[in-house]
Amino acid sequence: MNADLRIDGARLLASIEALGEYGALPGGGTNRLALSDADRAARDWTVAQMRALDMAVEIDAIGNVFATYAGTQELPPVATGSHIDTVRTGGLYDGNYGVLAGLEVVATLRAAGRRTRRPLQVAFFTNEEGARFQPDMLGSLVHVGGMPLDEALAVRAVDNGALLGEELARIGYAGRAPVGRPRVDSFVELHIEQGPVLDREGIAIGVVEGVQGICWTELTFTGRSNHAGTTPMALRQDAGMAAARVAAFAHELSQRHGGRQLATVGALTLQPNLVNVIAQSALMTVDLRNTDGARLRQAQDELLAGARRIAAEHGVLLSQRLLADFAPVAFDAALVDSVERAARSQGLSTLRLPSGAGHDAQMLARVCPTAMVFVPSRDGLSHNVREFTAPEQLVQGANVLLQVLLERADR
């Protein structure tokens, strides 16, 4: 380990605050949806920081940004990074921390006059959150060849129906670099946990062994609108009741499967959405997650079978659309060990755990050795304006990242 090198904590914290100004919400937190005007401003600011560090910046056809700090030899780079888009009520750290910590590593090396054998690359990926365009992690998925570029560019925004490709061009980030053929030695992503485990157990560093599988399904029930006071219960075609029963069914399914099976109904919209009118239609989403791919597939099959049965019982039509389907990912064992070794060499407590949230790292794992480093999230809050990680914990995570990248890039 290069024990003589440490990142500049004050500089890192200042950069996180500065990036948080783009899309800042009045009461705190950030609203910086992918390819919005706020995202464009944040991209411009981040690219300026990259160029100020003498990094070569490249933008690909899906808007992913890669900044490379040259090594002493022309070899595939050791990469790090994350994303800078947020949900509508995001905090300062989700994604942003990993990108800015990567730049802080480069700033530390540059100040010390140090070059690694392999180049270091810091990336931020388009639309990781999936809050405006679906699926989530779209940019990194296209980057590794998991989704055709034309298909991704034709995705429509959920807020205003704009095409992703048109929005990329509008904000000036429709790059020319090709996608689908990444040339990278390895990828290490630093991130807040976004869950309560590290904070609850008083652990400094999470050594992430993999990412659980994710399956998003959109269900649409179509019944018949009618008067709430004159239509007998037995004669209704109530789309709202069908959706409510499926929501309860998803919850019961997760309890029955137990273990790491999760189920969430995060969106539910009724039409005409009036107090005294039976709902004619109901659109809902179901988010299923599990670290076990076979169990996740079984849960998805049971959910769809249950939805079809419930729709039939209420005399409503059902249509379904798969929004995202990502299998569980196991990270590279040697790189995971490197994270643990780097943390312990700095006297930091560690815990091996899976990631409950999806990350760009799970896409990079398709093409190169990959690992993640977690730092605690206070009370497990994320996708929330009160998202918080203590300054000393942010600095600790960045110093672990520094050592992991140095070990990997100097080999």
Contact 371, 361 (CB under 8 A): yes
CA contacts within 13 A on the Cβ side of 325: 11
The secondary element (H helix, E strand) that includes residue 66 is strand 65-69
Please give the pLDDT value at position 324.
87
Residues 95-108: tens digit of each pLDDT: 999 999 999 999 99
Q: Is the dihedral of CA 69, 70, 71, 74 positive or negative?
A: positive
- Amino acid sitting at position 362: Q
pTM of the model: 0.89
DSSP state of 6: -
Q: Is the dihedral of CA 120, 124, 126, 129 positive or negative?
A: positive
Cβ-based neighbours of 44, under 8 Å, separated by 6 or more:
none
Residues 1-21: tens digit of each pLDDT: 576 899 999 999 999 999 999
- Token pair of 387 as six digits: 């998202």
Residues 111-121: tens digit of each pLDDT: 999 999 999 99
Cβ-based neighbours of 278, under 8 Å, separated by 6 or more:
223, 224, 225, 226, 227, 228, 231, 236, 237, 238, 240
CA contacts within 13 A on the Cβ side of 405: 37
Q: How many CB atoms are closer than 10 A to CB 255?
A: 9
| Spatial distance between the Cα atoms of 71 and 69, rounded to a whole number of angstroms | 7
Please give the pLDDT value at position 6.
97
Contact 196, 315 (CB under 8 A): no
Overall average pLDDT of the 169-174 stretch: 98
- What is the residue whose two structure tokens read 């039976």? 278
pLDDT band at 37 (very low <50, low <70, confident <90, very high): very high
Please give the pLDDT value at position 4.
84
- Token pair of 82 as six digits: 């994350």
| pLDDT surpasses 80 at 380 | yes
pLDDT band at 85 (very low <50, low <70, confident <90, very high): very high
Overall average pLDDT of the 233-244 stretch: 98
| Spatial distance between the Cα atoms of 213 and 158, rounded to a whole number of angstroms | 23
| Spatial distance between the Cα atoms of 383 and 90, rounded to a whole number of angstroms | 5
Please give the pLDDT value at position 118.
98
The phi and psi torsions of 320 (rounded to 5 degrees) equal -135, 150
Overall average pLDDT of the 214-229 stretch: 97
Please give the pLDDT value at position 1.
57
Overall average pLDDT of the 324-343 stretch: 96
Q: Label residue 4 exposed, middle or buried (CB < 10 Å: 0-12, 13-18, 19+).
A: exposed
| Spatial distance between the Cα atoms of 185 and 182, rounded to a whole number of angstroms | 10
Please give the pLDDT value at position 211.
94
| Spatial distance between the Cα atoms of 374 and 207, rounded to a whole number of angstroms | 7
- What is the residue whose two structure tokens read 């914990």? 393
Please give the pLDDT value at position 308.
98
Overall average pLDDT of the 247-269 stretch: 96
Q: Label residue 158 exposed, middle or buried (CB < 10 Å: 0-12, 13-18, 19+).
A: middle
pLDDT band at 227 (very low <50, low <70, confident <90, very high): very high
Beta bridge mates, 189: 372
Residues 334-346: tens digit of each pLDDT: 999 999 999 999 9
